[in-house]
């Protein structure tokens, strides 16, 4: 909206950073934790080693930008793209644990429908605002069963 008004009225806006809390110990800590350059440089994780989500600065004509991944523009909303990347990262972190090495190194790995496996182990949404003891118990049992960690009598 502000951008539209600026264009319509042909306004030139100059922004100046004002240090309101300089010298405040806790504000300095918050500022160091909230630095933007880490995000602008790209999102990196060890599962997708060598891949970044980057901003093409030449594409920035106003406040809009086009994020890219492996030189390919991300055409879905950035929030959805990051959610999908995190979903895949979590699934890969789970799959490549030491306990599953025997499955991952065999042809079984290609035969397993991993999306379906995770949907069966997580039938309800984890992001619910309320907790449900029955759902939590079912989910816990399913994960323990998958990981072969059910207690046994010996």
Contacts for 39 with CB less than 8 Å, ≥ 6 apart: none
Q: Which helix (H) or strand (E) holds 146?
A: helix 133-146
Write down the pTM of the prediction: 0.42
Closest CA to 81 of 40, 53, 42, 114: 53
pLDDT of residue 136 exceeding 70: yes
Give the orientation angle of helix 78-95 with respect to helix 114-121, to 10 degrees. Answer: 90
pLDDT in tens, 9-30: 887 777 766 666 667 777 777 6
pLDDT band for position 49 (50/70/90)? low
Contacts for 130 with CB less than 8 Å, ≥ 6 apart: none
Question: 153 near 136, Cβ under 8 Å?
Answer: no
């Amino acid at each position: 909206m502000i951008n539209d008004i600026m264009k319509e009225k042909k306004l030139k806006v100059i922004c100046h950073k004002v240090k309101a809390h300089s010298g405040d110990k806790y504000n300095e800590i918050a500022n160091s934790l909230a630095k933007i350059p880490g995000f602008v440089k790209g999102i990196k994780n060890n599962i997708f080693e060598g891949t970044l989500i980057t901003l093409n600065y030449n594409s920035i004509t106003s406040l809009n930008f086009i994020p890219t991944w492996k030189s390919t523009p991300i055409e879905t909303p950035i929030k959805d793209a990051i959610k999908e990347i995190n979903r895949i990262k979590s699934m890969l972190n789970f799959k490549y644990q030491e306990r599953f090495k025997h499955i991952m190194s065999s042809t079984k790995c290609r035969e397993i429908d991993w999306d379906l496996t995770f949907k069966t182990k997580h039938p309800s949404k984890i992001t619910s605002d309320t907790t449900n003891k029955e759902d939590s118990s079912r989910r816990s049992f399913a994960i323990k069963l998958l990981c072969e960690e059910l207690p046994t009598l010996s």
